[in-house]
Amino acid sequence: MPVNASAAGRDASRPWRAALGGGAAIHQLPQTSVALTATIYNFDVQLSDVDRNVYAAFAIRAARQPSETAEYLLTRVLAYCLEYGEGIAFSRGLAEPDEPPLAIRDLTGALQTWIEIGAPDAGRVHKASKASPRVVVYTHKDAALLVRQLSSERIHRAGAVEIYAVDRALLAELATRLERRMVFELAVTNRHLYLTLGGVTLDGVLTPYVLTAP
């Protein structure tokens, strides 16, 4: 799904420096979804996505559940950045199995993109593909194994499901730097990610995969 410069809050219509001057957008989980045992993480992001022509500054407030690994949380945050646009939002938490971790909806509330994180099973991807015009999976797991598993099962419109492997070395390094509040710049060009925080730039590749029919 091409995302142009009309992204959320109109911040994406101009470079992030200009967006900062006008006040950064803030995106957070609904308060009702934050369990008492959840840990809140805040991310201030400056995004320069050349691949999609999206330039924006925004803040993300994410609740990390006890069962959520650092790599899962970071993949969820990076997926938000890589899909950033009008109508994107987190779901009401991992306790909502019938909802995607991330979703993009139009102005009427209709689901346009179902975004999965990690290694969803075939039944969940099948359900997602029937519920949404577009399904994307961002995984921090073994992507080749995930693709083999999903390709062996019946999935609605399997060929249209998008799967992206987030560089595991990048995630591992980023996990060692994870703090409750983080400020970083993310540049994306030709599916290569350059993430700068604390004066250090980490980089990695976003690798696409395709499902095949069983």
pLDDT of 49-69, one tens digit each?
Answer: 999 999 999 999 999 989 899
In a domain? residue 1: no
Q: How big is the chain by its Cα radius of gyration, in Å? A: 16
pLDDT of 21-35, one tens digit each?
Answer: 444 555 554 444 444
Contacts of 91 (CB under 8 A, 6+ apart): 33, 99, 100, 101, 102, 103
Domain count for the chain: 1
pLDDT of residue 26: 53
In a domain? residue 27: yes
pLDDT of residue 48: 98
In a domain? residue 36: yes
- Residue 212: pLDDT band (50, 70, 90) is confident
Domain extent, residue 204, equals 8-210
pLDDT of residue 25: 58
In a domain? residue 173: yes
pLDDT of 101-143, one tens digit each?
Answer: 999 999 999 999 999 999 999 999 999 999 999 999 999 999 9
What's the CATH number where 140 sits? Answer: 3.10.640.10
